């Protein structure tokens, strides 16, 4: 098949959540014999240069380079409109032109869009089967942000959330099939009652790359992994260090916490002044930091979809203690494969349970990796994707036959 694949972040190298899922889809579709043309945005010269590495994994790619100041202005211009500001952030006239030229010049068997913010480029196409992979339902994330932001910022986030919600419902009706990352996100999508076919397929993890190490771990080290310019990561680490860390250090004064992730804000860097806390900033490879840990914490209060950091830690045989909301994006069972908590007291008890009991740590390490191998392997997820694509194309042409 000749497939046009549109995504909101250029999907190479697959170093962050917004790139990992699309990259693995593109690689799989190309390896399956399809001709895949990738269309996306790059936000810097460095990202554009790195992005060219996708060439072996697709037939070709179209890249529009944009700048954050210009994209921010496009966001601001949409504030008085019903169009979500976030859609302005991912709009490029150059990319729109590239995609329009491709659509006119060739016959396409499928258009696949990852992330609703770039559905705008192909929303009016009617003659080609189209799948919109929402991934996460972004509207719910914006609405959740509103609960954590002070007034009047909270009003702005709530307004954007409602605008995105309306856009998600409108866009879903313009596609032939819509998908999400987790069952919970799929249920949200189903609740929209758009009368469009829906499904879901999970994120996977490269269990060969994210594998256990023969090197011993440090029984007094915890880790947190994630971009530190991302608000949900900032919020949870601020709360963890303010409420939970003093409780843990009271029991184990020698305990250390590694906060590993690119672009920490000044507020996040200041956490590194706390006893035992290290804020690393960007690192070339997060795996040594995770493997060195007795466990990884993921105490996210704002979490939609799948947190890849959880999958990766479990695949490396490192136990995870996470929030119940973040646990909902992982196809694994609390207590059996990882531990969950909500309050500071619950986090402290769960973490100390692992730190104080080597046998419990080993049990979770083994069970967690096995669950990743069985339920979050990319081949398993991509087999679901293949069935979804077949369903979409079959239904599309069947409906065309009925109309003829």
3-state SS of 219-272 is CCEEEEECCCCCHHHHHHHHHHHHHHHHHHHHHCCCCEEEEECCCCCHHHHHHH
| pLDDT value at residue 237 | 97
Does some domain include residue 216?
no
Taking a C-beta distance cutoff of 8 angstroms, is the pair 24, 14 a contact? yes
Range of 387's domain? 2-201+378-403
Q: Provide the number of structural domains found in the chain.
A: 2
Report if pTM > 0.85. yes
pLDDT in tens, the chain (404 residues): 999 999 999 999 998 878 999 999 999 999 999 999 999 999 999 999 999 999 999 999 999 999 999 999 999 999 888 999 999 999 999 999 999 999 999 999 999 999 999 999 999 999 999 999 999 899 999 999 898 888 888 999 999 999 999 999 999 999 999 999 999 899 999 999 999 999 999 999 999 999 999 999 999 999 999 999 999 999 999 999 999 999 999 999 999 999 999 999 999 999 999 999 999 999 999 999 999 999 999 999 998 888 999 999 999 999 999 999 999 999 999 999 999 999 999 999 999 999 999 999 999 999 999 999 999 999 999 999 999 999 999 999 988 775 54
Residues 142 and 231 in one domain: no
CATH number of the structural domain spanning residue 309 = 3.40.50.2000
DSSP 82: S
Q: Write down the residue that tokens 């929402």 correspond to.
A: 134
Contacts of 240 (CB under 8 A, 6+ apart): 224, 297, 299, 347
Three-state SS at 111: strand
Instruction: Based on the fold, state whether residues 359 and 382 are members of the same structural domain.
Output: no
CA distances from 266 to 118, 319, 320, 328 (A): 31, 29, 27, 31
Asked, for residue 207, whether it belongs to a domain, the answer is no
Reduced to 3 states (helix: H, G, I; strand: E, B; else coil), residue 357 is coil
Same domain, 314 and 228: yes
Count of CB atoms within 10 A of residue 213's CB? 14
Whether residue 137 sits in one domain with residue 269? no
296 and 319, same structural domain?
Answer: yes
The pLDDT of residue 181 is 94
CA distance 229 to 231: 6
Predicted local distance difference test score (pLDDT) of residue 402: 58
Looking at the structure, tell me whether residues 310 and 367 fall in a common domain.
yes
In a domain, 215, yes or no: no
């Amino acid at each position: 098949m000749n497939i046009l694949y549109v995504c909101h972040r250029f999907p190479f190298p697959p170093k962050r959540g917004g790139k990992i899922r699309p990259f693995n889809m593109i690689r799989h579709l190309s390896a399956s014999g399809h001709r895949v043309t990738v269309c996306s945005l790059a936000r810097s010269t460095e990202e554009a240069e790195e992005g060219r590495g996708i060439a072996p994994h697709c037939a070709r790619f179209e890249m529009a380079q944009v700048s954050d100041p210009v994209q921010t202005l496009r966001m601001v211009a949409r504030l008085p409109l019903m169009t979500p500001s976030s859609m302005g952030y991912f709009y490029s006239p150059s990319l729109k032109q590239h995609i329009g030229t491709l659509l006119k010049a060739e016959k396409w068997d499928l258009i696949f869009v990852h992330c609703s913010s770039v559905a705008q480029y192909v929303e009016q196409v009617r003659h080609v089967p189209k799948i919109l992979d929402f991934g996460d339902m972004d509207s719910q994330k914006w609405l959740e942000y509103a609960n954590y932001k002070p007034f009047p910022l909270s009003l702005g986030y709530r307004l954007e959330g409602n605008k995105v919600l309306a856009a998600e419902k409108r866009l879903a009706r313009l596609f032939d099939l819509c998908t999400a990352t987790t069952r919970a996100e799929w249920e949200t999508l189903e609740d929209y009652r758009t009368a469009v076919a829906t499904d879901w397929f999970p994120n996977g993890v490269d269990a060969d790359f994210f594998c256990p190490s023969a090197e011993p771990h440090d029984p007094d080290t915890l880790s947190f992994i994630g971009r530190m310019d991302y608000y949900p990561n900032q919020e949870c680490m601020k709360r963890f260090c303010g409420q939970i860390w003093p409780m843990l250090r009271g029991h184990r004064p020698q305990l250390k916490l590694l906060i590993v992730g690119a672009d920490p804000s000044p507020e996040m860097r200041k956490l590194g002044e706390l006893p035992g806390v290290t804020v690393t900033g960007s690192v070339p490879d997060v795996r040594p930091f995770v493997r060195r840990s007795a466990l990884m914490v993921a105490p996210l209060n704002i979490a939609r979809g799948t947190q890849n950091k959880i999958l990766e830690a479990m695949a490396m045989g490192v136990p995870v203690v996470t929030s119940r909301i973040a646990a909902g994006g992982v196809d694994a069972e609390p207590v059996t494969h990882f531990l969950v908590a909500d309050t500071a007291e619950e986090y402290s008890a769960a973490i100390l349970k692992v730190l104080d009991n080597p046998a419990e740590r080993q049990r979770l390490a083994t069970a967690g990796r096995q669950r990743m191998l069985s339920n979050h392997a990319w081949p398993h997820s991509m087999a679901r994707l293949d069935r979804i694509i077949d369903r979409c194309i079959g239904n599309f042409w069947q409906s065309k036959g009925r109309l003829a």
